[in-house]
Amino acid sequence: MIAVTGPTGNVGRALVERLTTAGRPVRALTRDPQRARLPAGAEAVRLRLDDPAALFEGATKLFLYVQAGGDRTAGLLAAARAAGVRHVVLLSSSIIDSGADESHPIHVMHATAERHVRDSGLAWTFLRPGALAANAFQWAPQIRAGDTVRGVFADGQSAPVHEDDIAAVAERALLDDGHEGAAHRLTGPEAITNAGQVATIGRVLGRGLRFAELSADEAGPELFPHVPPGMLPALLQTFAATVGTPPEITDTVREITGRPARPFAAWAEDHADGFTG
């Protein structure tokens, strides 16, 4: 039995689909099991952080989304170990060991989770993806409304990674030997600018989309509705640093799964419906 937190998120859902397709027993730990709409074969269980003891009965491995436990991550891991879980795969971030300011809130969040995992007594594997291709969904409301996308740092570069490529690596880390104690850095196969991502989505949709650059001072909550206001200034500094700086590109997806990481255009084709509904 593999317990999966964050099963309704981009990576977690892709992982659950992979594991159930492979015939593996999966327990999806979610805050709202009735609305989770998980693949057939997955056991949906309410994630109760105030009573984690029963969550992991019969499970031997755990996929942990970094925000699943919040400030109760240590207790969640202790409950998992007590129930018989022996290996945890943590979805972390490439901001770790990137030279970034260690006081950066995203660094603090992921470094804290990694520390809890290391201290848990469980065998561990860290997945450290860079930019997520799914972050492009931030532009979806504007793309549905018209052909101009307002955003910051048109020339900011990244190597966005498809969530299913992350899930494929997670699957192998959970099912194969040899990943204990490893920290896998994951990226897409090529660099692309923010304006290039918007143009690529436009080509997939058969539309001529235009990126209209705003200054960082003009970037408000409406552009980043899911980012806590206190985190936005640090996030904008991170984005600013991507202008004129080639992103890290790794071959980790191919090395682990035997299949190269998919380019952003493939992600856009897979998710075209998300920009038209």
Four-residue CA torsion sign, 29, 35, 40, 43:
positive
Q: How confident is the model at residue 210 (pLDDT cuts 50, 70, 90)?
A: very high
Measured from the Cβ of residue 102, the count of other Cβ atoms closer than 10 Å reads 10
Instruction: Using DSSP bridges, classify how beta strands 192-193 and 157-158 pair: parallel, antiparallel or unpaired.
Output: antiparallel
Beta bridge pairs of residue 129: 186
The percent of residues in the chain predicted with pLDDT above 90, rounded, is 78
Residue 228 confidence class, pLDDT cut points 50, 70, 90? confident
Query: For residue 210, what are its two tokens?
Result: 């235009």
What is the number of other CB atoms lying within 10 angstroms of the CB of residue 40?
A: 5
The pLDDT confidence band at residue 71, using thresholds 50, 70 and 90, is confident
Q: Give the residue ranges of DSSP H helices in 5-137.
A: 10-21, 73-83, 105-119
pLDDT value at residue 222: 78
Query: Do the Cβ atoms of 128 and 94 come closer than 8 Å?
Result: yes
> Phi-psi bin for 258: left (phi > 0), alpha (psi -120 to 50), beta?
left
Rounded mean pLDDT, 222-247: 86
DSSP assignment string, 201-259: HHHHHTS--EEEEE-GGG--TTT-TTS-GGGHHHHHHHHHTTBT-PPP---HHHHHHSS
Name the pTM for this structure: 0.94
- How far apart, in Å, do the first and last CA atoms of the chain sit? 36
Tell me: the pLDDT tens digits for 235-273? 888 899 999 999 999 999 999 999 999 999 999 999 999
pLDDT in tens, 149-206: 999 999 999 999 999 999 999 999 999 999 999 999 999 999 999 999 999 999 999 9
